[in-house]
Amino acid sequence: MAESRHIWRMVTYIDAALAPLKNEGQIRLYRQEDFAGMRRASRLTAECLDALEDIVRPGLPTDEIDRFVYDFGLAHGALPATLGYKGYMKSTCVSINHVVCHGIPNEKPLKDGDIVNIDVTFLLDGWHGDSSRMYKVGNVKRAAERLMEVTYEAMMRGIAVIRPGATTGDIGHAIQEYAERERCSVVRDFCGHGVGRIFHDAPNILHYGNSYGSEAERHDAISKGRDIELKPGMIFTVEPMINLGRPQVKILSDGWTAVTRDRSLSAQYEHSVGVTETGCEIFTLSPRHEA
């Protein structure tokens, strides 16, 4: 009789050129030529996030942000991937203060002192560029500013460990270790994801880690598919949500908006990245600040 108590779904990788355009749990490995497509879509997303810096201000209704992103995409031949996605009917997610993610743009104006995440995914020529950043609305309190800094640094520390042979768990571990050392918490209910030809693809990228007692335990986790080994050609997002208070979230009755249960502030940054032979390429770097 088979060991029924230990069923693990084995991780399989597949040549992205041969895979069906559907998330069936296999991990797509893209080719160098594919990276060019990701660069174009992601650059457009980053340019839009740059342009939003010039319009975010107290008094701006968040659906104006949504309209701006829709117009920006269409003017450049791209579609916002969230539009119509699982019934979501907006071009962006706009998540203010204690909203963790998936805030739905509406007529309410931004207020002085708000911190806001704007998440944009453009679909350009079949490629998804998914990225989000935090914006300060007017004068922001130091605690909120610090949360933004910690969250950005957490994302970059997660990205810094990406190379062939490292695992998805290494990314989460780097993020969690840093965020908790800074007395912040990591949201567990949402994660990063494979991206590329498909908006939300395998694998999940958790933003918290595994603690291994030994190297043998680490190998065990990899071989049983709990921790996925990174290989050249993988494309995914790193998008930690970090809270000033506790990590628990709840979803509001609109079915989308996720908020912190303790109403503490939450922040998020997101990049789309690709694993290279030696490390990783960040596709959604800001042309204005980071490129």
Q: Of the candidates 157, 160, 114, 163, which has an alpha carbon nearest to the alpha carbon of residue 267?
A: 114
Q: For residues 121 and 266, which CB has a smaller minimum distance to ligand MF3 in the complex?
A: 121
What sign results for the dihedral spanned by CA atoms 26, 31, 33, 37? positive
List Cβ neighbours of 25 (8 Å cut-off, separation of 6 or more).
9, 12, 202
Q: For residues 70 and 212, which CB has a smaller minimum distance to ligand MF3 in the complex?
A: 70
Strand 13-15 relative to strand 27-29, pairing = parallel
- With contact defined as beta carbons under 8 Å apart, do 272 and 130 qualify? yes
Please give the distance of CA 72 from its chain centroid, rounded to a whole number. 21
Q: Of the candidates 135, 144, 127, which has an alpha carbon nearest to the alpha carbon of residue 284?
A: 127
Least CB distance from residue 194 to ligand MF3, whole Å? 11
Q: For residues 229 and 239, which CB has a smaller minimum distance to ligand MF3 in the complex?
A: 239
Residues 7-46 contacting Co ion, CB under 5 A: none
Asked if 201 touches Co ion (CB under 5 A), the answer is no
Distance in angstroms (rounded) separating the CA atoms of residues 177 and 74: 40
Residues 34-93 contacting ligand MF3, CB under 6 A: 82, 85-86, 88, 93
| Out of 82, 185, 237, 257, the residue judged to bind Co ion by CB under 5 A | 237
| Out of 42, 95, 121, 168, the residue judged to bind ligand MF3 by CB under 6 A | 121
Per-residue x/- track, 221-260, ligand MF3 (CB under 6 A): ------------------x----------------x----
3-state secondary structure of 205: strand
> Residue 128 carries which side chain, given as an amino acid letter?
H
| Out of 39, 102, 173, 207, the residue judged to bind ligand MF3 by CB under 6 A | 102
| Out of 119, 170, 201, 229, the residue judged to bind ligand MF3 by CB under 6 A | 119
Q: Which two tokens stand for residue 286?
A: 């800001």
Asked if 130 touches Co ion (CB under 5 A), the answer is yes
Binding site for Co ion (CB under 5 A): 119, 130, 132, 237, 270
Binding site for ligand MF3 (CB under 6 A): 82, 85-86, 88, 93, 102, 119, 121, 130, 239, 256, 270
